[in-house]
């Protein structure tokens, strides 16, 4: 019976972390759908958001909710600067060139954070209640519960945004076909900019939530790489797939850490998502919900 409770506890914690992966994966998919570019700086945007919020909380003693919204404003501003100054001049260039730009951008952001804040782990001030919740024999820290709920709220808000708002509909039209969107009078450049803004915001939210669980240092950027298997699992161009993939990878990672780390002396938790990535690419190269592209000659 104890094993069952332990298994359920790992599932709950995995869903909480996986919901954050789902948020970050949403940013991956948005940028890819809008511009056919994989943003390898997604993890660094997450890291920057976490550090900015932490700095506002600890250095300037700003209340959490004010720090949260200021961090969102900073993330939007940073995304607009990146899109306008770095990426917009690259429109029309080969996709591989833009991908290399995002890799360079990730290194610049990581180096800048290390120079400003250092590399040691920093703990977030207590934001969520510290008393753990007990359901039967399951003991779960409230930070996992609030992380899951907050992630779900943001995912629902963005789902409503894409389905009902004018800009959300324009983004969906652009994702389907840039040429058709242009013929309908939609500003594709504006859609690109909004896509980067949304990606930066969801990454910053993810950084704040993960930072509350594990603390903050420059290795937080590795979450971006962990999310990549989730994106591949769901499909690079599928928003529902990104959400489902994030949840699956979060649970798989936590189960691997709970059961296999002790057998292999650690490290399995970090490797498991990439093992899944290799298997997925071998079996379903376009993911569970990705659009399969067939070229006829």
State residue 229's pLDDT score.
Answer: 85
- Encode pLDDT of 249-295 as tens digits: 999 999 999 998 888 877 888 888 888 778 877 888 777 776 665 54
Structure token pair of residue 12: 């709950």
**223 vs 136, more confident:** 223
Burial of 259 (0-12, 13-18, 19+ CB in 10 A): middle
Give the Cα separation of 84 and 177 in Å (integer). 22
Residue 203 banded pLDDT, cuts 50, 70, 90: very high
Burial of 239 (0-12, 13-18, 19+ CB in 10 A): buried
186: left (phi over 0), alpha (psi -120 to 50) or beta: beta
- Encode pLDDT of 114-153 as tens digits: 999 998 999 998 888 888 888 777 888 899 999 999 999 9
DSSP assignment, residue 236? T
Residue 80 banded pLDDT, cuts 50, 70, 90: very high
The whole-chain average pLDDT of the chain stands at: 87
State residue 289's pLDDT score.
Answer: 73
Q: Is 272 helix (H, G, I), strand (E, B) or coil?
A: helix
Rg of the chain in Å (alpha carbons): 19
Start-to-end CA distance of the chain, whole Å, equals: 59
Structure token pair of residue 107: 């290194």
Section 20-39 average pLDDT: 86
Which percentage of the chain shows pLDDT scores above 70?
96
């Amino acid at each position: 019976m104890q094993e069952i409770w332990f298994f359920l506890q790992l599932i709950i914690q995995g869903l909480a972390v996986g919901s954050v992966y789902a948020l970050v994966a949403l940013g991956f998919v948005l940028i890819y759908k809008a511009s056919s570019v994989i943003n390898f700086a997604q993890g660094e945007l997450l890291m920057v958001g976490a550090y900015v919020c932490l700095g506002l909380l600890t250095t300037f003693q700003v209340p959490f909710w004010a720090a949260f919204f200021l961090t969102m404003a900073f993330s939007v501003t940073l995304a607009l600067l990146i899109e306008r100054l770095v990426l917009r001049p690259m429109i029309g260039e080969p996709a591989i060139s833009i991908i290399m730009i995002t890799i360079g951008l990730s290194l610049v952001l990581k180096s800048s954070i290390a120079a400003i804040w250092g590399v040691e782990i920093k703990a977030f001030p207590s934001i969520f209640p510290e008393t753990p919740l007990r359901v039967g024999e399951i003991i779960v820290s409230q930070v996992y519960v609030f992380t899951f709920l907050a992630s779900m709220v943001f995912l629902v808000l963005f789902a409503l945004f894409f389905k009902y708002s004018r800009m959300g509909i324009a983004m969906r039209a652009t994702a389907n076909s840039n040429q058709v969107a242009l013929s309908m009078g939609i500003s594709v450049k504006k859609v690109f900019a909004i896509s980067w803004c949304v990606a930066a915001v969801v990454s910053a939210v993810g950084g704040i939530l993960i930072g509350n669980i594990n603390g903050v240092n420059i290795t937080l950027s590795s979450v971006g790489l962990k999310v990549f298997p989730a994106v591949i699992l769901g499909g690079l161009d599928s928003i529902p797939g990104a959400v489902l993939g994030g949840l699956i990878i979060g649970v798989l990672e936590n189960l691997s850490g709970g059961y296999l780390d002790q057998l292999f002396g650690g490290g399995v938790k970090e490797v498991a998502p990439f093992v899944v990535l290799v298997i997925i690419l071998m079996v379903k190269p376009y993911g569970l919900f990705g659009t399969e592209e067939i070229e006829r000659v």
